[in-house]
Structure formats: C-alpha cells, structure tokens
Amino acid sequence: MYSKILILRFPNTEVEKPIVCYLVKDYDLTFNILNAAVLPRKEGVMVLELSGSRKNFREGVKYLKSHGIKVQNAGQEVRRNHNKCTHCGACTAVCPTGALVVQRPEMTVFFDQKKCSVCELCVPTCPTRAMEVRPTNSAFFE
C-alpha cells in the first residue's frame, strides 16, 4: 500500500466535476479528505491522503493533471514567524483543524504544527504575514 498526502488545486472550470470520485472507481485508490475549500466557479484547494498501489497512484495523479489540476506533495509546512506575529487571532478564525488557537487568559496565539493540515487558509488571513509556507522537501510531482 502506497500513501501520500497531496494538495490539489482545481481550476475554476473543474470544481463542479466529481473528479476525485473517479480515483476510486477507475484507479482503485482510496482517499481521505483532510481539508477542502472548493466553491462553484472559483479555484478550489483540497488536501487529501491518497492510498493504493504505486502504479495506480501514478496513474491517478496523471489523470488529475490531465484535468488541469495541480498536484502538489504536502512536503511543505506552515510556519509562524514569531517576530511578525502580533497575536491578533485572525488566523484562529479560519483554521479548520484547531492548530491555531487563542490561549486564555494570556490571549496569545498558540500554533500546534502537529494539527496543521497545510491548507494555507491562515496565510492570506494574517494581517502581518506571520504565517508562511515553507517547503520541507520536493514540491511538485513531475
């Protein structure tokens, strides 16, 4: 069994199609959606764990790319620049996994990187740009 966490970026022309379901049907892959921000007529982003045989995995990724979907290895992480962070809490409102929370009574923002799904929703939300995406190894599948 081969398994990887991937970040899929859907063009606005593909978000209303059941593309991920075909990974199960046509490529015998299983998936677990870890996070998704997919809206009609807008670019969509989905973080999922994809599992199956190595051959089917490669074919499934090839299928996704043939539909204009950018497939990115989640070999990246979100980091907080402590020097830029003002602990305003804006990031906590958009964090779907609870990786960013306000600690009380101190009213400071705590970032638990182990809970982070690398959805990147906090990055544009942060007014001081303290939340940053950094690669940990390879970025895009060839």
54: domain CATH number?
Answer: 3.30.70.260
- Rounded-to-integer distance, Cα 83 and Cα 41, Å: 37
Q: Do 27 and 7 share a structural domain?
A: yes
By residue range, what is the domain housing residue 118? 79-133
User: Is residue 140 a part of any domain in this protein?
Assistant: no
* pLDDT above 60: residue 106: yes
Contact residues for 128 (Cβ-Cβ < 8 A; gap 6+):
84, 85, 86, 88
At 140, is the pLDDT very low, low, confident or very high (cuts 50, 70, 90)? Answer: very low
How confident is the model at residue 142, as a pLDDT?
A: 37
pLDDT value of residue 40: 82
Average pLDDT, the chain: 88
- The DSSP code for 136 is S
Q: Are 3 and 50 in contact (CB under 8 A)?
A: yes
**Report field, pTM of the whole predicted structure over 0.75:** no
In which residue are the tokens 């779907």 written? 96
By the 8 A CB rule, do 127 and 90 touch?
yes
pLDDT tens by residue, 8-53: 999 988 988 999 999 999 999 999 998 888 888 888 899 888 989 9
pLDDT at residue 39, as a whole number: 83
**pLDDT score at 137:** 53
Give dist(CA 51, CA 36) in Å, integer. Answer: 18
Structural domain tally of the chain?
Answer: 2
pLDDT (0 to 100) of residue 23: 94
Q: Do 69 and 92 fall into the same domain? A: no
Q: Taking Cα atoms as reference points, which of 125, 49, 44, 35 lies closest to residue 80?
A: 125
- The answer on pLDDT for 94 being more than 80 is yes
What is the per-residue burial (b if ≥16 Cβ within 10 Å, else e) of 105-131? eeeebebeeeebbbbbbbeebbeeebb
